[in-house]
Amino acid sequence: MKFFVDTADVAEIRSLAGTGLLDGVTTNPSLIAKSGRKMSEVIAEICALVPGPVSAEVTATDHETMLKEGRYLRAIAPNVAVKVPLTEAGLRTCKVLAEEGTPVNVTLCFSANQALLAAKAGAAFISPFVGRLDDIGQDGMGLIADVVQIYRNYAFKTEVLVASIRHPVHVLQAARLGAHVGTMPPAVIRALFRHPLTDKGLEAFLADWAKTGQSIL
């Protein structure tokens, strides 16, 4: 399973990239707004830090302008993936950009039929939002299971990018289902490293080691 970080915070991305475990980055207009920076600059900086796909989202809602924005964003760096919303205009734009060789991440997906349409439009990634579905009492992971199954049935190449991940259990469930990618906030990635028994065990090992008076180097 590939791990993407869902943020436009360059310091966080730099730090997580240093682990060697980061496969890509997703941003959205809200995350760019939170960064307080110019979008083209922040995307260029992120693309230089992470070799994997960096999703940059269009903000127009009509096909022609989305296409222009998508081409502009794609020209920022070779690893930009253009993100479009799952609307009719978004999927028209996806089809054209995909035919031009641009990887497209179709975002704001909340149903399996929407995911089917995105695959038919040539999306490189589909982003079903599990947390936002859970928030309204629907089954976010049930959607992931459906999309993974449907894509397998037809051997679609579109990767299932689980989005709106809120906690480590979402990551575990997505991995069990065989989702290709999870995008998560930095805090969720960091939480995956931790276990109280790891901390306790390490503390005991180090205490015993100190008693020996040895040093390995």
Q: Which of 16, 183, 188, 189 binds ligand E4P (CB under 6 A)?
A: 183
State whether residue 104 is helix, strand or coil.
Answer: strand
| 51-110: contacts with ligand E4P (CB under 6 A) | 107
Query: Cβ neighbours of residue 77 under 8 Å, at least 6 residues apart?
Result: 43, 44, 47, 48, 54
CB 97 within 8 A of CB 82: yes
Interaction of residue 129 with ligand E4P, rule CB under 6 A: yes
Q: Please, what's the b/e burial string for 103-118 (b: 16 or more CB within 10 A of its CB; e: otherwise)? A: bbbbbbbbebebbbbb
Query: Which residue number, 119 or 161, has a Cβ lying nearer to ligand E4P?
Result: 161
Interaction of residue 6 with ligand E4P, rule CB under 6 A: yes
Span near ligand E4P by CB under 6 A; candidates 43-51, 124-132, 167-175, 194-202:
124-132
CB 107 within 8 A of CB 163: yes
Catalytic site residue from 2, 68, 83, 120: 83
Query: Which residue number, 135 or 202, has a Cβ lying nearer to ligand E4P?
Result: 135
Query: Which residue number, 14 or 132, has a Cβ lying nearer to ligand E4P?
Result: 132
Query: Cβ neighbours of residue 215 under 8 Å, at least 6 residues apart?
Result: none
Number of residues binding to ligand E4P, judged by CB under 6 A? 11
Q: Which of 93, 114, 158, 164 binds ligand E4P (CB under 6 A)?
A: 164
Whole-angstrom distance, CA of residue 22 vs CA of residue 184: 11
Interaction of residue 125 with ligand E4P, rule CB under 6 A: no
Residue type at 15 in one-letter notation: S
Closest separation in Å from C-beta 192 to ligand E4P: 16
Q: Is 83 labeled as catalytic in the residue annotation?
A: yes
CB 89 within 8 A of CB 71: no
Site residues (vs ligand E4P, CB under 6 A): 6, 26, 28, 107, 127, 129, 131-132, 163-164, 183
The residues assigned a catalytic role are: 83
